[in-house]
């Protein structure tokens, strides 16, 4: 019952938003029966259907090519929808003000036009002396011009649009430009520029001096799927290989699809190079698309999964826990298993997809947790919502004696758009105490 109520609420909100957009972008700016009105109304029905279909198509079993065809317009419309809505809502208080200013301007122009019209003096007619109403002499009358010589009245100029219509069209055009520009920039940030390389130094009190400067390339939320594919993976691998890291950590949400559909897109991961190898922990999205198959597949690519387990590297312990979403599949995080028999005098680094696991990491004496999941909010103003849902949105933070670093991730979920949360790959450099 609760799920049904939730779905009904979401449908009502989504439908209400699109009705509002239809009013502001279609009905208020066009005439009834016009081509613009017909096309706009059709799109107001089609685009929300595509947006919903894009969310559901991954689990529909449809051919992957069909999924791609639906995903592109559906997800991009969702991004455009967000910024159209925000811009139109921001302009709402300005509409009556703009109409009032236009009314004053038109009134001022009307007054100036009336003052500019010169007064016409009455024509004086001189009657000759001796002329009278009794048939006397009269000045000759001017014969009327022939009808064929009469000058036709010029056609009246078309009436300008009303103030309300002018303001509505100006607001619609502004919202369209802002939304298109924002989404265009956000899409180029992902598909054009790609993930930025960041560097952060993290001091660890227990790290041996000989391991000072140890570098871990951290990447998360690659999100291979209907939109991001093999070229996206290859670019990430190229960036990581250029830094010559000591180890590579893939911190969950590698894929949004099955091995059958995306296995070839993930193949470039076999080319990752680092001194101590590449490691992987599951994210919540792996559990939506067959996590067991993906764990075994990345192993075949030469990337070692850490499933609630620990590995002793020469300078510190590297551990990994499964994602929280695995609890619904009997495969959730197990800190006791991952950290059992650990020497507490050795530094420990934990890979955990979601930052919310930091509190358990603190209880188990972990020195550093590396996470992703948040995307940094991905699209402003979603950054504020993501900040409320996570203890740390992005960057380095400290919780008692445990430090937490959260990467914004290298890909996107849903729209291939990032605004105010650029994608990144981070080189975490460990520093020994002075």
- Is cis: bond before 40, omega within 30 of 0? no
Task: Give the least confident one: 120-124, 136-140, 177-181, 352-356.
Answer: 136-140
Tokens standing for residue 85: 């809505």
CA dist 392 and 354 (Å) reads 10
Rounded Cα–Cα distance for residues 282 and 306 (Å) = 9
What mean pLDDT is predicted for residues 131-159? 53
Q: Residues for the chain: how many in total?
A: 434
Is residue 241 classed as helix, strand or coil in its secondary structure? helix
Report the candidate in 56, 46, 65, 78 with the shortest Cα–Cα distance to residue 416: 78
Under the banding of pLDDT at 50, 70 and 90, the label for residue 140 is low
Q: Specify the higher pLDDT residue, 113 or 365.
A: 365
Distances from the Cα of 33 to the Cα of 27, 37, 44, angstroms: 10, 6, 16
pLDDT of residue 126 exceeding 70, the answer is no
Mean pLDDT across 11-31: 94
Q: Which residues contact 17 (CB under 8 A, 6 or more apart)?
A: 81, 85
Per-residue pLDDT reduced to its tens digit, 347-377: 999 999 999 999 999 999 999 999 999 999 9
Alpha carbon 96 to chain centroid, angstroms = 30
More confident residue, 144 or 215: 215
- What is the arithmetic mean of pLDDT over 75-84? 97
Q: What torsion do the CA atoms of 265, 196, 390, 184 make, to the nearest 10 degrees?
A: -80
Residue 198 has pLDDT above 90, yes or no: yes
> 135 falls in which pLDDT band (50, 70, 90)?
very low
The residue written with tokens 């979601």 in the block is 354
Rg (CA), the chain: 35
Contact status, residue 211 vs residue 368, Cβ threshold 8 Å = no
Q: Tell me how far apart the alpha carbons of residues 171 and 177 are, in angstroms, rounded to a whole number.
A: 10
List the structure tokens of 380: 């402003």
Give the DSSP H/E element, type plus range, for residue 35: helix 35-56
What does the pLDDT read at residue 316?
Answer: 96
Q: 104 pLDDT band (50/70/90 cuts)?
A: confident
Q: Which residue, among 275, 175, 280, 270, has the nearest Cα to 218 in the 3D structure?
A: 280
Q: 219-241 pLDDT, tens per residue?
A: 999 999 999 999 999 999 999 99
- When comparing pLDDT for 273 and 138, which is higher? 273
What mean pLDDT is predicted for residues 147-159? 55
**Could you report the per-residue pLDDT of 283-342, keeping only the tens digit for each?**
999 999 889 999 999 999 999 999 999 999 999 999 999 999 999 999 999 999 999 999
Q: What confidence tier does 92 reach under pLDDT thresholds 50, 70, 90?
A: very high
Q: How far apart are the first and last CA of the chain?
A: 59
State the pLDDT confidence band at 145, using cuts at 50, 70 and 90: low
So what's the pLDDT on residue 43?
A: 95
pLDDT interval class at 150 (50, 70, 90): low
Gap between the Cα atoms of 315 and 196, Å rounded: 28
Q: Which string of b and e fits 368-402 if b means at least 16 CB within 10 Å?
A: bbbbbbbbbbbbbebbeebeeebbbbbeebebeeb
Q: Residue 168 gets which letter from DSSP?
A: H
Can you read off the two tokens belonging to residue 361?
Answer: 């990491």
Neighbouring CB atoms inside 10 A of 177's CB total: 11
User: Mapping DSSP to helix (H, G, I), strand (E, B) and coil, where does residue 171 land?
Assistant: helix
Q: With both helix axes pointing from N to C terminus, report the angle between 94-116 and 163-187 in degrees, rounded to the nearest 10.
A: 130
Distance CA 406, CA 418 (A): 17
Residue 389 pLDDT = 95
CA distances from 392 to 64, 196, 254 (A): 35, 20, 21
pLDDT class of 79 with cuts at 50, 70, 90: very high
Q: 133-142, 180-189, 393-402: which has the minimum mean pLDDT?
A: 133-142
Of 122, 349, 339, 107, nearest to 215 by C-alpha is 349
The CB density around residue 420, as the number of other CB atoms within 10 Å, is 15
Mean pLDDT of the chain, nearest integer? 90
Cα-based angle 111, 114, 119 (whole degrees, multiple of 5): 150
- Strand pairing partners for 396? 405
Q: Which residues, including other chains, have CB under 8 Å from residue 422's CB and lie 6 or more apart?
A: 189, 193, 195, 196, 376, 408
């Amino acid at each position: 019952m609760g799920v049904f109520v939730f779905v009904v609420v979401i449908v009502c909100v989504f439908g209400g938003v699109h009705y509002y957009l239809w009013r502001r972008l279609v009905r208020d700016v066009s005439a009834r029966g016009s081509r613009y009105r017909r096309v706009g109304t059709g799109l107001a029905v089609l685009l929300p259907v595509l947006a919903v279909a894009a969310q559901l198509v991954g689990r529909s079993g449809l051919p992957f090519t069909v999924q791609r065809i639906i995903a592109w317009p559906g997800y991009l419309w969702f991004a455009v929808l967000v910024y159209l809505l925000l811009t139109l809502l921001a302009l709402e208080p300005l509409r009556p003000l703009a109409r009032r200013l236009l009314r004053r301007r038109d009134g001022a122009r009307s007054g100036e036009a009336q003052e500019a019209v010169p007064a016409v003096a009455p024509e004086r007619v001189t009657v000759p002396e001796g002329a009278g109403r009794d048939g006397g002499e009269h000045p000759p009358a001017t014969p009327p011009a022939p009808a064929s010589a009469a000058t036709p009245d010029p056609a009246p100029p078309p009436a300008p649009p009303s103030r309300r219509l002018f303001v509505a069209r100006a607001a619609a055009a502004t919202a369209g430009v802002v939304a298109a520009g924002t989404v265009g920039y956000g899409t180029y940030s992902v598909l054009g520029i790609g993930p930025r390389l960041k560097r952060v130094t993290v001091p660890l009190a227990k790290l041996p001096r000989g391991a000072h400067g140890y570098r871990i390339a951290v990447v998360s939320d690659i999100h291979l799927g209907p939109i991001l594919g093999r070229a996206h993976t290859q670019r990430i691998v190229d960036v990581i290989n250029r830094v010559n890291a000591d180890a590579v950590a893939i911190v969950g949400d590698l894929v949004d699809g099955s091995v059958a559909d995306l296995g070839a897109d993930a193949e470039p991961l076999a080319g990752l190079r680092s001194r101590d190898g590449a490691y992987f922990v599951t994210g919540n999205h792996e559990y939506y698309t067959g996590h067991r198959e993906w764990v075994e597949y990345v192993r075949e690519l030469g990337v070692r999964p850490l499933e609630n387990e620990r590995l002793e590297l020469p300078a510190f312990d590297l551990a990994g826990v499964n994602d929280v979403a695995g609890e619904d599949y009997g495969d959730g995080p197990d800190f006791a298993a991952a950290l059992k028999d650990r020497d507490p005098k050795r530094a420990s680094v934990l890979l955990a997809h979601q930052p919310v696991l930091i509190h358990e990491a603190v209880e188990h004496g972990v020195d550093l947790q590396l996470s992703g999941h948040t995307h940094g909010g991905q699209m402003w103003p979603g950054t504020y919502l993501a900040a409320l849902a996570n203890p740390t949105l992005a960057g380095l933070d400290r919780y008692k004696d445990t430090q937490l670093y959260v990467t914004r991730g290298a890909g996107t979920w849903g729209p291939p758009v990032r605004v105010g949360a650029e994608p990144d790959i981070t080189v975490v450099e460990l520093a020994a105490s002075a």
